[in-house]
Amino acid sequence: MSNHPALASGRVAVVTGAASGIGLAAAQRFAALGMKVCLADIDADALETAAAGIGGTAETLAIPTDVSDRSQVERLRDKVLDRFGEVAVLMNNAGREGGGSLFGDPARWRAILDTNLWGVVHGVQVFGPAMIAQNSPAAIINTGSKQGITCPPGDTAYNVTKSGVKVVTEALAHELRNTEGCQVTAHLLIPGFTFTGFTRVRVSEKPPGAWTPEQVIDFMLPAMAAGDFYILCPDNDVTREMDEKRIRWAAEDIIRNRPPLSRWHPLYKEEFEKFDPNKG
């Protein structure tokens, strides 16, 4: 299958959170396609190392950026347009690990929301109008999470941000398809368990159940080419069928008037185990 039309040699990709993990894997793949790639990340040292290691024959640009600061995202856009003249792909991927329990540290909550949610909002609002005005094929990819759909208890701040990313990206898709002549598409990347910098904080070797960031991008590209909006990735432990069951169960809490998060409610433990024998 051919790639999404925005993913063409000579065109420009901007990736935030590009110093490691899924962002770096995406930047490497875009460069391998012959695209000019701008890598953005808050960690300037890691960013320079990542940019220096990008393969392919494309031109690369590294711009340290804190996506929680709108002015820095505006500066990123301006530098990219000054250097390359366009943006064909924007991947809003920068993220901060969770750890914000409901009654947790307000400063931790603020930091998670500012990066994971506001970083995506800033990217969409700052880059989107210019990409629409180009009148050429383009794509905006926002990195979400299954936690933003099923909302497992314990990491509420992170769940809130990723739920918000889902809503923002759905609204973006609606706006784009209702803009006359618009050639920009929106995509919500929903990774499964992936061995990234977040995971390495806890374990030094890739768990057997996890995918590599490169596997996520391998899955993402043909899904974009097929026109998929929801790019729901499996992993080595969780199949598409299992994901669909868990998402359906979460949605039916409302339809069936069950207690919220009933998947983890003791009164529904047996019912859920019958519904999903994997009960993960």
The catalytic site residues sit at 158
Q: Which amino acid is at 105?
A: D
Closest CA to 21 of 227, 225, 240, 193: 193
Q: What share of the chain is helix, strand, coil (3-state, %, to 5)?
A: 50, 15, 40
Distance of CA 24 to the CA centre of its chain: 12
Contact (Cβ atoms closer than 8 angstroms) between residue 246 and residue 151: no
**Distance between CA atoms of residues 221 and 137, nearest Å:** 15
Contact (Cβ atoms closer than 8 angstroms) between residue 79 and residue 61: yes
**Terminal Cα-to-Cα distance of the chain (whole angstroms):** 33
76 CB-near residues (< 8 Å, 6+ apart)? 14, 38, 40, 63, 65, 126
